[in-house]
Amino acid sequence: MGTEFADKSAEMFKALADGETGTFRSSLRQVFQLSPQVPPAERAALSNEIAPLLSPQDGDLELVADLAVLAGALVEGGVPAGTAGVQVMRMLHSWAGSIDTRREAGGQHSVARRLGLAAKTMLTDAEVRAAVRADEHMLFDLEVAAGRLRWNVGEFHQVARLLMMADAVSALVLDRRSGRGFRVAFDGVWSNFQLHTLLVDALVGAEGRGLEGERPCSGCVAIESGRPQPTHDATEELHEVWSLWDYKGRRIDLTDSPADFPLHAGERVIVLGMKESALESWTPGYHCHDRIRAHLTVRAELPPEETTGLWSRIAMPEGAGDSA
C-alpha cells in the first residue's frame, strides 16, 4: 500500500504531464509539507524522479520551475543534490541564455526567483559545484548571468558568490617574509576571512609548514571549516596574521572571495604580506556559508627555483612586506 507521500507525488507528476496547473501546485504543496515526515530514502527517490523533468524544453517552464524549488527543498532537508542539482544548474543555464538577463525584472513569483532559489541551494553541494566547474562554458555563462540578474533578483547575489566559490579551488601562495611558496587546494571557501584562517592553520608553526605567526585555536578552525567543533571559548576571536595581495600588487579585501585573486599563467596567486598596525579580527564562522563545509590542503611546497621565478614577476608596493 502506498503512503500519502507517494500518492501525492504520483498525483503531482500526473498533473504535470496533463498540464493541470491547479492540481499540480496543490499536490506539490502537499508533497513539500509531507516531506520532512518521510524517511530519507523516500525523499531521495523523489529527487531522482524529479531530476529528468528539470528541463526548460520539457513542459510548462512555470511548473518545471516549481519542481526545481521542490528539489531544492529536499536538498535543504538533507537529500544529496545529485543529478537533480546538476539538472537545476543546466536548466538555469539554458533559461538564462534565452532571455535578456539585464532586463529581467524578477518578482516574488517569477521563474527567475524560483530558479535562483533552487540554484543557491544546489550550489551548496560540492559535487554540483564540481560539475559546473567541469563545464567551463556553463560556468562562464552562469557567472555573467548571475552578475546581471542579481541587481533585480535578490537570490542571485548568493548564486553569484557560490559560482565564484565553484570557480576558485586552488592557488599558489607566496610568503613575503620567508620567500617560500606553496601550491594549495581548497573548496567551500566563502570569503577571504575564511581563506585566511585555513591558510594560517595549514602553513603556520610546527603543525603547519613552519611559517611565522600566531596559530588560531582548534575550535576556531573547526567552526571556520563547518566541522563539529571541540569545546570552544565563545569569546575567542580570529586575528589577521598577514595582509593578502594579488600578483599585481593589489590588496585583496578579506570580505572578498578567493575568486577575486586574478589568474597568472592559469593559476591564482596569493601573496602573504606583512600584517599591518590596524589588524582585522572577526568572530569564527561569521564570514562563512552555514551550509557548506570548507577545507584547504597544501599539495606541495614549490622548489626554490620556481619560487624565485615567480617572485621576479610579482609586483608588490613598498612596505607590503620584507623582500624575498
Q: End of a domain among 167, 198, 219?
A: 167
Q: Is there a domain that residue 320 lies in?
A: no
Q: End of a domain among 130, 148, 167?
A: 167
Reported as a pLDDT band with limits 50, 70 and 90, residue 1 is very low
| One domain for residues 140 and 187 | no
| One domain for residues 203 and 263 | yes
| One domain for residues 220 and 293 | yes
Spell out the residues 6+ positions from residue 12 whose beta carbon is closer than 8 angstroms to its own: 24, 27, 28, 31
- Does residue 257 carry a pLDDT above 80? yes
| One domain for residues 78 and 92 | yes
Which structural domain, as residue segments, surrounds residue 54?
A: 4-167
Reported as a pLDDT band with limits 50, 70 and 90, residue 106 is confident
| One domain for residues 20 and 76 | yes
Angle at the Cα of 250 from the Cα atoms of 211 and 269, rounded to 5 degrees: 50
Q: Which pLDDT belongs to residue 59?
A: 65
Q: Is there a domain that residue 179 lies in?
A: yes
Q: Is there a domain that residue 261 lies in?
A: yes
Angle at the Cα of 163 from the Cα atoms of 228 and 311, rounded to 5 degrees: 90
| One domain for residues 150 and 183 | no
* Paired sense of beta strands 263-264 and 181-187, if any: unpaired
pLDDT in tens, 259-302: 999 999 999 999 999 877 667 889 999 899 999 999 999 999 99
Spell out the residues 6+ positions from residue 244 whose beta carbon is closer than 8 angstroms to its own: 192, 195, 196, 251, 252, 254, 261, 270, 271, 272, 273
Q: Is there a domain that residue 316 lies in?
A: no
| One domain for residues 194 and 153 | no
Distances (CA, A) of 235 to 198, 229, 284, 292: 20, 15, 10, 23
User: 266 is written with which cell numbers?
Assistant: 592559469
Q: Cα–Cα distance between 258 and 270 in angstroms, integer?
A: 9
Half-sphere exposure of 186 toward its Cβ, with a 13 Å CA cutoff?
33
CB 132 within 8 A of CB 99: no
Q: Is there a domain that residue 317 lies in?
A: no
Q: End of a domain among 121, 150, 167?
A: 167
CB 176 within 8 A of CB 324: yes
| One domain for residues 146 and 117 | yes
| One domain for residues 142 and 288 | no
pTM of the prediction?
Answer: 0.92
Cell 611546497 appears where? 301
pLDDT in tens, 109-150: 799 999 999 999 999 999 999 999 999 999 999 999 999 999
The residue ranking higher by pLDDT, 163 or 2, is: 163
- Does residue 99 carry a pLDDT above 50? yes
pLDDT in tens, 185-237: 999 999 999 999 999 999 999 999 999 999 988 889 999 999 876 666 667 88
The average confidence (pLDDT) of the chain is 92
**What angle, rounded to 10 degrees, do the helices at 218-225 and 192-203 form?**
130
Chain centroid to Cα 7, Å, comes to 35
The winner for highest mean pLDDT among 55-59, 101-105, 292-296 is 292-296
Q: Is there a domain that residue 129 lies in?
A: yes
CB 183 within 8 A of CB 300: yes
Domains in the chain, number: 2
| One domain for residues 235 and 89 | no
Q: Is there a domain that residue 225 lies in?
A: yes
| One domain for residues 243 and 185 | yes
| One domain for residues 21 and 160 | yes
Q: Which pLDDT belongs to residue 323?
A: 40
